[in-house]
Amino acid sequence: MLILGIESSCDETAAAIIEGNKKSDKVKLLSNSLASSLFLHSKTGGIIPETAAREQVKYIIPVIKEALDKANLKPKDVDAVAVTYGPGLIGSLLVGVETAKALSLAWNKPIIPTNHLIGHIYANFIEPIHNSEYVIQNSEIIEFPAIGLVVSGGHTDLVLINDHKKIKWLGGTRDDAAGECFDKCARLLGYAYPGGPKIAELADKGNANTISLPRPMIGTKDFDFSFSGLKAAFLRETEKHFPIMRNTNKKISWDEIILEKELNDDEKQTLYDLCASLQNSITEVIVRKTMKAADKYKAKSILVGGGVAANLSLKNKLQKNIENQNPGIKLFIPSTNLCTDNGAMIAAAAFFNNLEISWENINANPGLYFD
Ligand code: KG4
Ligand code: ZN
């Protein structure tokens, strides 16, 4: 079965073709195309929904055409059109959904409405590709029950996956998402959106034990998270160590000065330590709760997805905790280009959770969550 997957929930316009075979536990990726309006948002310090939607309109048809061309396919070869119908920004979502509707009608193919969050988890069900464009993913078989961890700019959720189509939400963030915490703290230091990769880069040069930051909700019995207090603590520590940050007239802001450039070598080290401590707090909380869920539900696999899944410290901590606590659990993290938003994960989720409908019956749902 050949599925065209369309993703347009935020600032990425993406389309991909996958080939699914019921006898295999993974789908094959035939093409993966993407256009991003990220460069526009980095200038404004965050995503402006109107700008993102306008860019989606510009790119959607060329990206879909490129996905078909790269896979050497014609529309008649495709069996179904999968599209993200939520959650996301309404303007961006509508572009993908309305385009999928038009294609479905014109090509006489069914639509498969797909949840973006479930899509992030299903990036792990894409077969590894052995070429330079894609980093190799874990090629082992995914066994259920599995714990799904979605960590992105907008979401931090833990789910229990008993089987395909049997996904139960366990808990999520009560305020900011993990990626949002990375982004907002990075912005405070003067770095453009998305700040996660920048914090990770600076944290590499720092010592996480020098400056202490809280690990919110790490010991609570539930599977919920909270990152807004950590962000506030990060601000307090930044102001404590860098007096320039306390001077409101001179306050460093993302579009004026990058704090790092104002510092001598010793001060720079403090900045790196602060970033290392932030990364450590975020990843420790996520890992502790994920392992707790895996333990409680006797998970055989852990499937991570979303932009923050690209964070190496998170991967290393998960790996280490699995080795120490339960070496039988298999860890799956997509290659970096499949951690962030893409069309392939939407097509993969559609293949395994297949719910084909007619074009008249799909509507964008920005507030969609796990059912
Ligand atoms: O999944 P994604 O592309 O978009 C959403 O659905 O939100 O995730 C984007 C998020 C941003 O917050 C970005 O800072 C974060 O993923 N991110 C990272 C890393 N790479 C991307 N956070 C920490 N470490 C990274 N290496
Ligand atoms: Zn996403």
- Ligand 1 centroid–CA 310 distance in Å is 7
* Sheet (strand 156-163) strand order: 166-172, 156-163, 146-151, 301-305, 330-332
In the reported structure, the alpha carbon of residue 158 is separated from the centroid of ligand 2 by a whole-number distance in angstroms of 15
Residue 336 Cα to ligand 1 midpoint, Å, equals: 10
Contact 164, 114 (CB under 8 A): no
Provide the pLDDT for residue 112.
98
In the prediction, which pLDDT does 190 show?
87
Say yes or no: CB of residue 200 within 6 Å of ligand 1. Answer: yes
Return the ligand 1 atom nearest residue 336 CA. 20
**Which atom in ligand 1 lies closest to the alpha carbon of residue 120?**
1
For the CA of 153, the nearest ligand: 1
pLDDT of residue 43: 62
Q: Which residues contact 145 (CB under 8 A, 6 or more apart)?
A: 160, 161, 162, 297, 298, 299, 300
- Is the CB of 154 inside a 6 Å radius of any atom of ligand 1? yes
Does ligand 1 lie within 6 Å of residue 308's CB atom? yes
Q: Under a CB-based contact definition with an 8 Å cutoff, are residues 96 and 134 in contact?
A: no
What is the distance between the alpha carbons of residues 8 and 255, in angstroms, rounded to a whole number?
28
**Is residue 182 lining ligand 1, measured as CB closer than 6 Å?**
yes
Of 10, 182, 284, 337, best ligand 1 pocket probe by most atoms within 8 Å of the beta carbon: 182
Within 8 A by CB and 6+ apart from 323, the residues are: none
Is the Cβ atom of 10 under 6 angstroms away from ligand 1? yes
Indicate whether residue 197 lines ligand 1 (CB < 6 A): yes
Ligand nearest to the CA of 34: 1
The 8-class DSSP code of residue 187 comes to H
Cβ–Cβ under 8 Å, residues 348 and 122: yes
179: Cβ below 6 Å to ligand 1? yes
Q: Is 341 in the pocket of ligand 1 (CB under 6 A)?
A: yes
User: What pLDDT, on a 0 to 100 scale, did the predictor assign at position 97?
Assistant: 98
Give me the numbers of helices (H) and strands (E) for the chain, helices first please. Answer: 11, 10
Which helix (H) or strand (E) covers residue 150, if one does?
A: strand 146-151
pTM of the predicted protein model: 0.94
User: Exposed, middle or buried, 334 (CB in 10 Å: 0-12/13-18/19+)?
Assistant: buried
All residues with CB under 5 Å from ion ligand 2: 152, 341
Write down the pLDDT at residue 228.
94
Q: Which helix (H) or strand (E) holds 271?
A: helix 265-296
Nearest ligand for residue 306 CA: 1
Residues in the chain: 371
- Taking the chain (371 residues) in runs of 10, the rounded mean pLDDT of each run is 97 95 92 82 73 92 97 97 97 98 97 97 88 64 97 96 97 97 92 92 97 97 97 94 73 67 90 98 98 98 97 96 96 94 97 93 95 71
Q: Measure 204 CA to ligand 2 centroid, in angstroms.
A: 25
- Note the pLDDT of residue 364: 97
